[in-house]
Amino acid sequence: MSSAPPIVPAQPHALDTDGLASQREQRDQRNDTWFRYVVTGCALFVLIALLGAALSMLWGGREAFSTFGWSFLWSSDWDAVQKKFGALVPIYGTLITALIAMLIAVPVSLGISIFLTEIAPAWLRTPVSTAIELLAGIPSIIYGMWGLFVFVPFMGDHIDPWLDEHVGPLPIIGPLFQGAPIGLGMLTAGIVLAIMVIPFISSIMREVFITVPVHLKESAYAVGNTTWEVVWDIVLPFTRSAVIGGIFLGLGRALGETMAVTFVLGNAHLLSASLLQPGNSIAATIANEFTEADSSIYLSSLIALGFLLFVVTFIVLAIARVLLGRLAQRGGKTS
């Protein structure tokens, strides 16, 4: 007589576990889809805002571009009475003051960051770092007021006369330092911009220098390298992409600065090779004359200047991206 097969009891727990796993997988997939939509929307928002700002300024400056054409870029005229406008003087002043600022700010920022990460004792690093952060938080109008009431008289009484007397007669660079010692001018604006940009660049350099692995520097010191050799051969090559990025970030800050430059630049539509003479910049021109625009062509010319500042900044950042890409490729080939 054959025996009946054993009855296998049901396993409700196994079925419940499979159902819960399936529900959890669907919920995770749904959440991941929503996460992708949200972060994609954030990225698209930046592009839409950027494109919208550029197109709105281009549309606002269409009358100036259609009236003056390409001559708007290289014309030095700025006559509100005769309604003749050109962007050459503001563009020139913007680029020159930013260049002066970077020539001063980059080596000073590099020295500050190297001192804080390689040389300064531990008790001194925190106070100096805090001071740099405080300088970065000072509003630009405070820099402008300090520049106008303190730094401009100092430049006019001491620096400008000395430069005009001793450097002005030189054959090549002399024309850059000739003129009346009034204190206001592109050199003064460039120095004030450098003081404003130094905290940003030095903070970025300091943060990236800290990320250099300690064992790399200790190995270099162990074989007899000096501090300068460690910085030049280890720290800077390891962080060069971030350092260049910080430099161009500071340059973008210098190009778009408004209030501080407005106080010390002189706000004169004069095209002069001398750095001691007053000049103008795109941001300062817009800030000073936007409320005085009494005609449509005047207002359109100011908006067109804003579009040109946008284009100049975009070109600078694009060059930065190209340089960083080439450095990354070069680093990949040498590694």
| pLDDT higher than 50, residue 335 | no
Does the pLDDT at position 14 exceed 90?
A: no
Q: Which two tokens stand for residue 297?
A: 């062509």
Is position 205 within any domain? Answer: yes
At 253-297, the pLDDT tens digits run: 888 888 889 999 988 888 888 899 998 999 999 988 888 888 889
For 180, list phi and psi in degrees, rounded to 5. Answer: -70, 135
Domain of 281 in residue numbering reads as 69-334
Residue type, 305: L
- Among 157-161, 218-222, 265-269, 318-322, the minimum mean pLDDT is found in 318-322
3-state helix, strand, coil in the chain (%, to 5): 80, 0, 20
**Span 96-102, average pLDDT:** 93
pLDDT category of residue 122 using cuts at 50, 70 and 90 = confident
How far apart CA 282 and CA 267 sit, in angstroms, is 10
pLDDT for residue 13 is more than 70: no
Two tokens at 163?
């430069």
- Answer yes or no: is 247 within a domain: yes
Residue with token string 């990225």: 43
Q: Is residue 288 part of a domain?
A: yes
- Per the structure, the count of domains in the chain is 1
Q: For 43-55, what is the mean pLDDT?
A: 89
Mean pLDDT of the chain: 86
Q: What percent of the chain has pLDDT over 70?
A: 91
Whichever domain contains 198, its CATH number is: 1.10.3720.10
AA letter at 125: R
Residue 250 lies in a domain: yes
| Residue 225, domain member (yes or no) | yes
